A and B are shown apart, each in its own frame.
Chain A
């Protein structure tokens, strides 16, 4: 399994166009924030202390959530390509188990997603540093890394299932771009959940990536939130947390971090089992 994993990782980083496309949604996101979304969101909020820092943290949490899905998805491109060019025949003709081969694809995309998210995290921290804001503490970094792991694993379990439907690299690339773009809406990343109609809010709350985004926000925004709402009434803070998707309101109360963590674990387990069952059935 390690052989396939290492090979796939190397291929992902060597394939400049695949690398670019897997980051395309992230690039689009950054450009949108830079040009008008940032101002739009900022204008929709009243002026308060540490506003810029708070919003920057919010934005980076969203970027992390998108990255954890699109880079993982991009790395799965190797699997689609191997199948469409029949390069996978060479693996099937070798004495390795099919499960090792699939394990290799999964492991490599988890690794790729993890590394790319770490890069985003380092960039975020560097930007906090250069803009004179507080950097993340070690404990926070540790937590973020944990959430990255969780988020990447649950994404890859969903993607594994998705990937089996694509026969050509072209179709897969097109779908990846659509997914990457849609993701920003479905996880309340382009536009905060509070500004959206009720039915979209329900979809967002169900969508697994929204929970990665929420967890990232909870950690990254911890310090600026304290500064902003030090003097403010509790109700104002509650409204803000709810509208910005830091926590989701389900049945009248805000979700706990544990809920989001468990939700992501549940998704990972459910889709992994489903993928294994489908792959097994396909073989026989």
Chain B
């Protein structure tokens, strides 16, 4: 597999605000790659540099072997983009919007019409082609945005928070469209998201916080690396169990008379359960979700900022 996007030691500041600090990563051709991070992490800034919209302060960025800053026009032909905000014209119909955007690439009239039919089919918007873009629902707009990004059959599709602001059902649908697109066309899909569950679908995840990469790997790797399995016990007599734990010097936390014990691996629970069997009313062994992993990564990296409000 070849690297279709390569980013080496990327820096970008806006005045005193360091939006991207020494970021390096690569994306493999044909993969689904996610950039995970909270508000202001620097996701859009990195994307803008990839798109040749912003100049980096330092660092080298290559897209399909082309260098950002040197081969900008060629790069623009390789990338399709779905921006975080809507950029199409509300007063024009879906078809008009797609047609005018298709004209930005050197296409003949026949090629344009064929391209519009193709993308309309791909994202299933054929029935709304004559409606004004501004009158569409959020989910429909997103579909059209994706269609616009696909007009010139790019090698890479960049989506900046494609599902933010959509209801759960629409989110799922958009997400299915993206997955299907990637499977069928083998296009490289690069997306940013706040949602951990979405990142879990990808081949590789990079987690960003305050301009820096704080973790990267496959979802499976991240889970095994940062997972926090735990044993939950409800005691027959909480006071008794508490003092027993204390004399055994076992680390635990208590939440609403439920005892929580961190485990290396889930099987460690067997020994503990056997040992305290008499005192246990009921128990549960929890394998951490990627969600917990994310919080773990964030808190581990920086203990001062506990802004752990991650929607999932």
- A interface residue numbers (CB < 8 A to B): 2-4, 6-7, 10-11, 14-15, 85-87, 89-96
Nearest chain-A residue to B85 (Cβ)?
Answer: A86
Partner among B79, B87, B103, B105 whose Cβ is within 8 Å of the Cβ of A89: B87
Nearest chain-B residue to A18 (Cβ)?
Answer: B91
Query: Is B51 an interface residue, CB under 8 A from the partner?
Result: yes
Question: In the complex, what's the smallest C-beta–C-beta distance from A94 to chain B, in angstroms?
Answer: 4
Q: Are B104 and A3 in contact (CB under 8 A)?
A: yes
* Chain B interface size range: 20 to 34
Partner among A3, A86, A87, A93 whose Cβ is within 8 Å of the Cβ of B89: A87
The B interface is mostly helix, strand or loop, or mixed, namely loop
Contacts of A14 in B (CB 8 A): 91-92
Question: In the complex, what's the smallest C-beta–C-beta distance from B275 to chain A, in angstroms?
Answer: 61
B262-309 at interface with A (beta carbon < 8 Å): none
Question: In the complex, what's the smallest C-beta–C-beta distance from A16 to chain B, in angstroms?
Answer: 9
Q: Are A89 and B77 in contact (CB under 8 A)?
A: no
Q: Are B77 and A11 in contact (CB under 8 A)?
A: no
Question: In the complex, what's the smallest C-beta–C-beta distance from A182 to chain B, in angstroms?
Answer: 29
Q: Are B101 and A93 in contact (CB under 8 A)?
A: no
User: A10-B92, A89-B53 known; A95 and B83 CB under 8 Å?
Assistant: no
Q: Are A10 and B96 in contact (CB under 8 A)?
A: yes
Q: Are B92 and A87 in contact (CB under 8 A)?
A: no
Given contacts A93-B51, A95-B73, 7 further A-B contacts (CB under 8 A): A3-B104, A4-B100, A90-B148, A92-B53, A94-B101, A94-B104, A95-B105
17 A-B pairs with CB atoms under 8 Å apart are: A2-B103, A3-B103, A3-B104, A4-B100, A6-B100, A11-B89, A11-B92, A14-B92, A86-B87, A89-B87, A90-B87, A90-B88, A90-B148, A92-B52, A93-B51, A93-B76, A95-B73
Query: Is B94 an interface residue, CB under 8 A from the partner?
Result: no
Q: Are A93 and B100 in contact (CB under 8 A)?
A: no
B78-118 at interface with A (beta carbon < 8 Å): 79, 81, 83, 85, 87-89, 91-92, 96, 100-101, 103-106
A92, B51: Cα distance in complex, Å? 9
A3, B77: Cα distance in complex, Å? 17
Q: Are A7 and B83 in contact (CB under 8 A)?
A: no
Q: Are A15 and B104 in contact (CB under 8 A)?
A: no
User: Total A-B residue pairs with C-beta atoms closer than 8 Å?
Assistant: 57
Question: In the complex, what's the smallest C-beta–C-beta distance from B98 to chain A, in angstroms?
Answer: 12
Nearest chain-A residue to B83 (Cβ)?
Answer: A89
Nearest chain-A residue to B79 (Cβ)?
Answer: A93
Contacts of A93 in B (CB 8 A): 51-53, 76, 79, 81
Contacts of A92 in B (CB 8 A): 52-53
A203, B214: Cα distance in complex, Å? 63
Q: Are B53 and A15 in contact (CB under 8 A)?
A: no
Contacts of B105 in A (CB 8 A): 94-95
B57-84 at interface with A (beta carbon < 8 Å): 73-74, 76-77, 79, 81, 83
Contacts of A11 in B (CB 8 A): 89, 91-92
Nearest chain-A residue to B92 (Cβ)?
Answer: A10
Contacts of B89 in A (CB 8 A): 7, 11, 87
Question: In the complex, what's the smallest C-beta–C-beta distance from A142 to chain B, in angstroms?
Answer: 33
Contacts of B76 in A (CB 8 A): 93-95
Contacts of A6 in B (CB 8 A): 100
Q: Are B100 and A3 in contact (CB under 8 A)?
A: yes
A103, B165: Cα distance in complex, Å? 35
A2, B107: Cα distance in complex, Å? 13
Question: In the complex, what's the smallest C-beta–C-beta distance from B75 to chain A, in angstroms?
Answer: 9
Question: In the complex, what's the smallest C-beta–C-beta distance from A38 to chain B, in angstroms?
Answer: 37
